[in-house]
Amino acid sequence: MGKAGGDSRSLINEQGLRIDGRKIDELRPVKIEVGILRNADGSAYIEFGKNKIMAAVYGPKEVHPKHSALPDKALLRCRYHMSPFSTEERKNPAPSRREIEISKVMREALEPALMLEDYPRTAIDVFVEVLQSDGGSRCAGISAASVALADAGINMRDLVAACAAGKVAGQVVVDVDDIEDKEGQADLPIAIMPSSNQVTLLQLDGQLNDEEFNKAFNFAVQGCKQVYQLQREALIGKYFGRSEVPEGGQ
């Protein structure tokens, strides 16, 4: 989305609160559920504010066409798609340039966390279906996909947690929603592998000076860490039947 960069002062009020009442360093409410699709090998559902997104994983499985198989590792394929009813105006269901780009960056964001070398000559397919979008859908989709991959039992080095920060009404804020994305001045989505502190996605739409970039990056990392806790709680809740996360445990 292009950044208007216009007068967006009303996006933050005199008390420093945003249009939906959040503080500048506050995430939207996040809910993650694991293993909700019977016919996928792994699945997850995420609500990130008003975003509602399903992620489904198939594999490791036989590769078609066969010549695209890799001799030393699994082929990871990702498809990010927005349903026609996910946006205010009906969205054409055909893949747009934006969806093709997001599918690519999503694959690149997830791949470092996966031990693809354990599954040579196979394919792992990740489908991310946006049922309702409200800004930040690529981050929410990556976070859900990583949980779905864990649910599928794929060997992983780490989860991948994603969150954006941005600049709205001249201020750096975490977790930019749709209206803030459209009327704000910058959007910085990032994904990290929280255990090893590695960045696997970093994009920037709009402009930030050095100081703003550092602040936004730190806000986004803090957001990712909160998402990571919720990812772990969702997985532990599914597999161990409890919601609390053991101190320092996996």
Q: Provide, rounded to whole angstroms, the least separation between the CB of residue 50 and ligand ADP.
A: 9
- Cβ distance to ligand ADP smaller for residue 126 or 235: 126
Q: Can residue 180 be called a binding residue for ligand ADP (CB under 6 A)? A: no
Subset of residues 83 to 122 that bind ligand ADP, contact rule: CB under 6 A: 87, 89, 91, 98
- Cβ distance to ligand ADP smaller for residue 151 or 181: 181
Q: Can residue 61 be called a binding residue for ligand ADP (CB under 6 A)? A: no
The residue among 65, 26, 67, 30 whose CA lies nearest residue 49 is 30
Q: Can residue 181 be called a binding residue for ligand ADP (CB under 6 A)? A: yes
Chosen residue from 81, 138, 232, 238 binding ligand ADP by CB under 6 A: 138
- Cβ distance to ligand ADP smaller for residue 2 or 249: 2
Q: Are 152 and 114 in contact (CB under 8 A)?
A: no
Q: Can residue 136 be called a binding residue for ligand ADP (CB under 6 A)? A: yes
The residue among 235, 53, 25, 72 whose CA lies nearest residue 144 is 53
Q: Provide, rounded to whole angstroms, the least separation between the CB of residue 210 and ligand ADP.
A: 23
CA separation for the pair 107, 120 (Å, rounded): 17
* Interface residues toward ligand ADP, by CB under 6 A: 1, 87, 89, 91, 98, 133-138, 178, 181, 187, 189
